[in-house]
Amino acid sequence: MTQPLPRSLRERIGHALAFETIAVLICAPAMAWFMDKPLLHLGVLTLMFSTVAMLWNMLFNYLFDRAQSRLGFERGLWARVSHALLFELGLIVVLVPLAAWWLSIGLLEALLLDIVLILFFLPYTLAFNWIYDVLRARWLARREAAALGTVCRGA
């Protein structure tokens, strides 16, 4: 199996924006319905969550990469499990108080809301990235075929 082409910064930004936009479009109405709160109120909260998650993702991965280079560990199963758990723990530390404040609810209720969101994001992340990778591979194959067709016609 051939390795996919590396992703440009532009593609990575597009990937992150598509991921977060679709998540907001799913989560905001679902949370508004479930919590019986105005859609706009929950929409703003999901946008705040999305922004925090993207910023935390960039900072956390930068810090994790630095830790790896300093400590010299391999990215095996335990490193990846630790990465995922520490990432989620960092999000919980920031998002739970934010949700509690924004929704005027207790920290325990906000933690339960965050757990529900984590349970949503696990399969959503898997499905989104799988579909993205399939569509990207098709697009790259078409682009390569078109480029070969242009070369063949020009020869």
Question: Given this model, what pLDDT does residue 77 score?
Answer: 85
- Helices (H), ranges, 8-76: 9-35, 39-71
Mean pLDDT of all residues belonging to the chain: 89
- Does residue 115 surpass a pLDDT of 90? yes
Domain boundaries, the chain: 10-154
**Can you give the pLDDT at residue 75?**
79
Are the CB atoms for 38 and 32 separated by under 8 Å?
A: yes
CB 125 within 8 A of CB 57: no
What pLDDT, in 10s, does the model give residues 64-91? 889 888 998 887 888 888 888 999 999 9
Residue 98: burial class (beta carbons within 10 Å; 0-12, 13-18, 19+): middle
Q: Which residue has the higher pLDDT, 149 or 35?
A: 35
For 124-148, letters b (16+ CB in 10 Å) and e give beeebeeeeeeebeeeeeeeeeeee
Q: Is 77 helix (H, G, I), strand (E, B) or coil?
A: helix
Residue 3 token pair: 């390795």
Q: Give the single-character DSSP code of 5.
A: P
Please tell me the predicted confidence (pLDDT) of residue 36.
Answer: 95
Handedness of CA 112, 113, 119, 122 (dihedral sign): negative
